[in-house]
A = this chain, B = another copy of it.
Amino acid sequence: MQDPKIKKYSKKLEYSYAFGTYPTIDLLKLQSENVIKVYLKEEGFGSEGVDEIIGLCKEKGISFEVNSRFIDKLAVKENTYSLGVFKKYRCELDSDLNHIVLDQPRNMGNVGTIIRTMMGFGYRNLAIIKPAADIFDPTIVRSAMGSLFGINFKYFDSIEEYRKAFPKHALYLFMLKGAKSLEEVSFEKPFSLVFGNESQGLPEEYSKLGQGVFIDHAKDIDSLNLSIAAGIAMYRAK
């Protein structure tokens, strides 16, 4: 394959970047078939992480290059010693396992943190209802800290399209006006935990699709942060 050009990330690009040593290691371990090339800085040599990267590249026949300029042109953080360039890929969701569903998520930091929490609590399947943040944006890759490469994700045009594709799943819809508090709910597997976005939450009419659930909190705040609400729900339902 031809060497990738140094291009600032955009949604249209066919490849994206994993910045940093540990995300690059996860990329090499979990998505090696999609890695185009790895770039390293000489300053990182001798560290355990960079040694592991070189070992993985050799083992899997992936080319790597010492090229500070490539990294410096693209990295946001100063001390980035490794960068993995990977081809964007598609996945299918596992229909027997539990899902996380994000309805029109916008904030990339939240999406990345949710993906990291998914890995932590054993959720490996993420459905995203459009319009939504671009999951391959390096901001998401970075805040997921490599976990992106360990999960399946798929975009859907609407919640109805998702529902049709996975009719077996029991939907638990997290909404401020949910019918049951999280503490009262017992989760039937396979289930889908459905979360709205940061500004609007889920539309009220979604409540007919399954069990509405609220996480009880004081009136002093409008709502919990999305990634906090999702984290608590994933912890409780697992």
Contacts and interface: CB of A to CB of B under 8 A. Distances in A.
Interface in A131-172: 145, 147, 150
A147 B222 CA distance: 10
A201 to B, nearest CB: 14
Nearest to A230: B228
Interface string A197-238: 000000000000000000101101110110110011001000
Contacts of A232: 231-232, 235
A116 interface: yes
Contacts of A215: 235
A150 B220 CA distance: 9
Most chain B beta-carbon contacts within 10 A, residue among A121, A147, A217, A228:
A228
A144 B122 CA distance: 29
Contact of A119 (B113, B220, B235): B220
B225 A225 contact: no
B225 A116 contact: yes
Given A228-B228, A232-B232, A221 B120 contact: yes
Contacts of A225: 113, 116-117, 227, 231
Size range of the interface on A? Answer: 20 to 34
A119 B218 contact: yes
Interface in A29-53: none
Contact of A221 (B145, B220, B235): B145
B113 A228 contact: yes
Nearest to A143: B225
A122 B217 CA distance: 8
Contact of A218 (B120, B220, B222, B228): B120
25 contacts: A113-B225, A113-B228, A116-B221, A116-B224, A116-B225, A117-B224, A117-B228, A119-B221, A120-B220, A121-B217, A121-B218, A122-B218, A145-B221, A145-B222, A147-B220, A147-B221, A150-B220, A225-B227, A225-B231, A227-B227, A227-B228, A228-B228, A228-B231, A231-B231, A232-B232
Given A147-B220, A231-B232, 17 more contacts: A109-B109, A113-B225, A113-B227, A116-B225, A117-B228, A119-B220, A119-B221, A120-B217, A120-B224, A145-B221, A145-B222, A150-B220, A215-B235, A224-B231, A225-B227, A228-B228, A228-B231
